[in-house]
Structure formats: structure tokens, C-alpha cells
Amino acid sequence: MKFRVVAEYFDKLEEISSRLQLSATLADLFRVTEKTVLDKVVYLIQGKLWPDFSGLPEIGLGEKLLIKAIALGTGREEKEVEITLRKTGDLGEVAYSLKGEGESSGLLAYVGGVEGELTVEEVHEKLSKVALATGSGSRDVKIRTMAGLIKRATALEAKYIVRFVDGKLRLGIGDATVLDALSQAFGGSKTEVERAYNIRADLGQIAKLLAEGGPEAISSVKVTVGVPVRVMLAERLADTEEIMEKMGGKALVDYKYDGERAQIHRKGEKVTIFSRRMENITSQYPDVVLWTKDYVEAEEVICEGEIVAVDPETGEMRPFQELMHRKRKNDVQEAIAQYPVNLFLFDLLYLNGQEYITKGQLERRRKLEEILKKGQDKIRIAESIIVEEKGKLEEFFFKAISEGAEGVMVKSIAPEAIYQAGARGWLWIKLKRDYKSEMADTVDLVVVGAIYGRGKRGGKLSSLVLAAYDESSDTFQTVCRVASGFSDQELEEMQNLIRKYTIPHRHPRVNSNAEADVWVEPALVMEVRGAELTLSPMHTCCLGAYREGMGISIRFPRFIRWREDKSPEDATTTTEILEMYRNRLKKIESETEETV
């Protein structure tokens, strides 16, 4: 398939301003894509060469090398490339304009082929070569391969190839949009396609399967060791009575550990660890890999737990930030010694050829206990009890906190309480320590726009427009502007971060009445604490859901930290915000009653 077609669609997609049009156009692209390369096209759309879980490196070509490659590929001096970059600020545009000028000379005489003849396979293959080149001489291989691609590309193709490599494809198309477009293009209900993706989270593979085998192929998708299952998530509540009610009077209650979620896949001697975002994090935890082989007694298994940092001296739990050292350290062995961890398992998804996700909570837990070797303390089962009344729940909650946990996870033990892959539902409810603060819990919001500061912060993007995720429309709805909580250094670092995602107009998946000096592709998630939730006509979050013409906004929000472990679709949802607002009102009402 000609890469030109893909580039032309990328160009169209960039101009679109509505979410519906986005998925319709994407569906058109899928229809004209040859089935054999559909997986590759899906990855490219998401700015990737392969799924994150593959553990293969992403393309890493810094700006300097990319400039060299553009110069070489367009027959210009590096200086000229740099000057054009200063004007446009976008290397993709640079490649486009430098190629464009050359195009009038017709087909370039080039030994390796002519412009406009590139296929998707070739582009993917060459980019993979760039990504995978390592060791001495790899720098040259990368530059030459890129230059070769640029040389053979049309101006438009070059623009998108370069943007891709520069990490700035800026299409901002999330999984849900792709799934939507897939079912439009090839039939199969959206729910069925989603189900398949939830249990085998390889979007490219699912796309290909659907295109080649139709809806039947999709309905027979099963959990596969080695391909992550999308994680099950919890709703939140602050009131223990309400929690017990939701659970039908009886529930399993676990400590909510403050670490990193790990989905562990074992097939014989091969162990792979996936993060909450389904990235392959195996290399950070060689200790956990070893323990899994030694202590999880199963030939083939998928289980889940939380990796928690522990104090090397006392064995007590440490906050999750400690795990960050593991990510930064180059010397893993040293990191293992300096920042030891424990693994607390809480779920079983698959065991020796049998899916467990469709089984009840208690059966999963029992089996998990059965396959975990006794007499060791590296891998443990999450501390838990069964409760039948709220007093016991509260007692256990305080015990959890006193031992360094974040709170508790309350889990339904009803027979239908399966592992709901990829869903946030009421089968799990989290009760966290910070619910006791003014605004129940912090929220994770997505940056969709930014505004320049004044005075001391003049010329700097210093106020960010933040949005919650609306699952039903797959859009981001604004909820507040945050301008405080950043240290000087954080503010400085933020400038480049935001610029990386700046786009010329409001993103089609962003629903906003708020104004912004620059618009930002929904990609960055930050944790924010607010003072309270109020109705507001300024924001689109939950617009009309509580009162006509009014949205819900967060007052006095403060930046806490970036949540790199969350994708924009993992941000706090509009439904959660509505729930938080209602709970707050209830609390105020009951407090008023008490004082009366």
C-alpha cells in the first residue's frame, strides 16, 4: 500500500474539528488500507511503531540528528534546515517546505527509487531500522536511513515521517476513537470490538483480526499470555455506609498499596511485567521476575499486584515516589539493592490454559493463594478481610493507613463480580486517606490548552486549561484553569513539555468554552488538588448534567505532580466529577442537619 494515501489522510485528520468527523475519516482510512498492513497503520496513527507492551525501543532520534538527516535527504546545508526551523518551529514543516521546493523538478533521479513510490511496509521497515540500530556506528545508520526515506518521500510524506520521528505527530487519536472507527469500517458492534481489545490489548492486532476475519474473529478473542489485559479499575466513595450498601452488605477488603501496579505474565521461564498503561517494565524489576519464577507455582499465569518500595532496614512500606529511582537508575543491580521492593498480589486473570477473568472474586483470590509458595516474604497476597459492617471496614481502613497503605480497596464478592477488564466500575470501590480532606481526593486531569502569564511570568505559559475525560463521547471537557502549585523549576520545565504538544487549533476531541492562547493535544495528565467543586457556566465538564447551562468546575486548583503513568483516557472522568459533586452536596446537607 502506498504511504502517500496514509500521509494524505493524516493531512485531512489534522484539519478536522469534531470528534465524530474524526472517527468517520479514520474509518475511511481503514477501509482503503490493505488488510495486511492495517496493524502498522494503526500503530503509526498512535505515533508508535509497535505496541508499548512489546518492550521494543521507540524511535529515538534527537533534533540534531534529524536536522542532519533532513539536510542529507533534501540536499541542503544543515544551516538552511536550521534557519527554516527557526521560522516554522516544526521539523515536519521544514521537511515539507524544503522538499516542496525541490519537487518542481519532477521525479528525483535517485538510485533507490523515485518520489511517491514509498509503501507503508517500507516506511515501517526503515523506521524500525532507525529505532533498533544500536552500538557503534548506529548513529550513522540512523541518519542515513532517515535521509534515504526523506529523499524518496513526497513533501507531504516527508512532513509526517519527520513529525513521527520527532514525536510530534499530533493526531491525538486515542484508543476509543480507533475502536469506534474500526467498527464503523468493518462491522462488529463497538462493544464486541472493545471487549476483544480489553482482554487482548494490542490495537493493531485487533484491527487486523477484525478486517480479515470479521466480527466472528473478534468474538473468539481470548486472553493471551504475553499480551496485556487492560486493567480493571475502581470507583471511589468517601462514605463507608454507602460503600457497604453498594456492595450488598458484604465485601472483600484489601489494603490499597501505594506503589506501581504490575500485571505479571509467566509462560514457563519467560516472565513479563506490564504497567498500568501496559508498558513493558520488566527490565526495572529483575528481582520480581526471579521471585515470580521461584514462588508463583504455575506453568502459565497472568496475575496482578502492586510493587511497593520497602525500607531496606525495617521492611516497612515506603511511598510510591521511591520507585521512581528504579526508573532513573542505569545500574539496575545497584537499584535493586538500594531500593528494595515487595510484591503484593491481588488478582488472578489466567492460569494454565484457563481464563479466570470471568470467575468470581473469591474464586480468583483462593486460587491465587493456592499457587503462591509459602515460607517466603517477597511476594505476598494483599492483606485482606471479609467485612459485613461498616465499623469493621473503618477499623481495617485505619489499620491499613497506619501501616503505610493509601487506604483500602473494597471488592464485591457477588457471584457476578468478575474481573472487568478495561473498565472502571462499582465492583471495586476505593476508599483513600485523602478523602478526609476538603475536596474529596485529588483528581487527574488532562492539559488541553495554555495561557501566557503576566508580570514575572510574562511570556511564559503559566496557566493551563485542564479537562476531565468523558467516556460516553470520548472527548475531554474542561473543568478548571490551574496556575499555582508549580515551583519555578517545574514552570520552566513545563514550557518545553507543553510546546511539544501544541497544536494550531482546539483538538477535535476537546470540548471547551474556555479560551486559550495555545491549544494542546490531549496527552499530558497531571494530578491536581482543588478546594471545592462548584457549578460554573464557564466549563463544559458535566454541562447540563446537574443544572441546565451549568458545568462543574474545580475552585482553586493546585498542581501536585505529573502522572506520566496515566494516559489521557485514564484521567478522572466527568462521571466521577459529577459523583464527587453530588457527594459533596450530600455531606453539606447532612452537616447542616446536624447543626440544626
Give the active site residues.
256
Nearer to ligand ATP among residue 78 and residue 403 (C-beta)? 403
What is the chain's Cα-based Rg?
Answer: 25
Identity of the amino acid at 195: R
Shortest gap between Cβ of 427 and ligand ATP (angstroms)?
11
Tell me which residue of 501, 510, 484, 518 sits closest to 574, measured CA to CA. 510
d(CA 126, CA 130) in angstroms, rounded, equals 6
Give residues with Cβ within 8 angstroms of 152, minimum separation 6: 110, 112, 113, 114, 115, 117, 118
d(CA 384, CA 516) in angstroms, rounded, equals 47
Nearer to ligand ATP among residue 379 and residue 409 (C-beta)? 409
Shortest gap between Cβ of 199 and ligand ATP (angstroms)?
17
Nearer to ligand ATP among residue 202 and residue 306 (C-beta)? 306
d(CA 61, CA 50) in angstroms, rounded, equals 17
d(CA 557, CA 482) in angstroms, rounded, equals 6
Identity of the amino acid at 265: H
Nearer to ligand ATP among residue 13 and residue 309 (C-beta)? 309
Nearer to ligand ATP among residue 257 and residue 350 (C-beta)? 257
d(CA 226, CA 224) in angstroms, rounded, equals 6
Shortest gap between Cβ of 259 and ligand ATP (angstroms)?
7
d(CA 258, CA 235) in angstroms, rounded, equals 17
Sites of contact with ligand ATP (CB under 6 A): 233-234, 254-257, 261, 276, 306, 346, 382, 409, 430
DSSP bridge partners of 310? 317
3-state secondary structure of 159: helix
Nearer to ligand ATP among residue 90 and residue 306 (C-beta)? 306
From the number of C-beta atoms within 10 Å of its C-beta (0-12, 13-18, 19+), residue 262 rates as buried
Q: Long-range contacts: 332-340, Cβ < 8 Å, 24+?
A: 332/283, 332/284, 332/286, 333/286, 335/284, 336/286, 336/287, 337/312, 338/312, 339/309, 339/312, 340/287, 340/309, 340/310, 340/312
Shortest gap between Cβ of 234 and ligand ATP (angstroms)?
4
Nearer to ligand ATP among residue 442 and residue 463 (C-beta)? 442
DSSP bridge partners of 206? none
Shortest gap between Cβ of 255 and ligand ATP (angstroms)?
6
Give me the residue label for grid cell 527554516. Answer: 84
Give residues with Cβ within 8 angstroms of 218, minimum separation 6: 188, 192, 193, 196, 206, 209, 210
Asked if 349 and 380 touch (Cβ cutoff 8 Å), the reply is no
Nearer to ligand ATP among residue 3 and residue 419 (C-beta)? 419
Nearer to ligand ATP among residue 369 and residue 589 (C-beta)? 369
Shortest gap between Cβ of 343 and ligand ATP (angstroms)?
11
Question: In Å, how far from its chain's centre is CA 325?
Answer: 21
Shortest gap between Cβ of 408 and ligand ATP (angstroms)?
8
Shortest gap between Cβ of 228 and ligand ATP (angstroms)?
13
d(CA 502, CA 162) in angstroms, rounded, equals 16
**β-strand 532-536 against 475-482: which pairing, if any?**
unpaired
As a dihedral over the C-alpha atoms of residue 276, residue 434, residue 425, residue 280, rounded to 10 degrees, the angle is 0
Shortest gap between Cβ of 563 and ligand ATP (angstroms)?
7
Nearer to ligand ATP among residue 162 and residue 526 (C-beta)? 526
Q: What are phi and psi of 59, to 5 degrees?
A: -65, 125
Q: Give the Cβ contact number of residue 6 at 10 Å.
A: 24
Shortest gap between Cβ of 382 and ligand ATP (angstroms)?
4
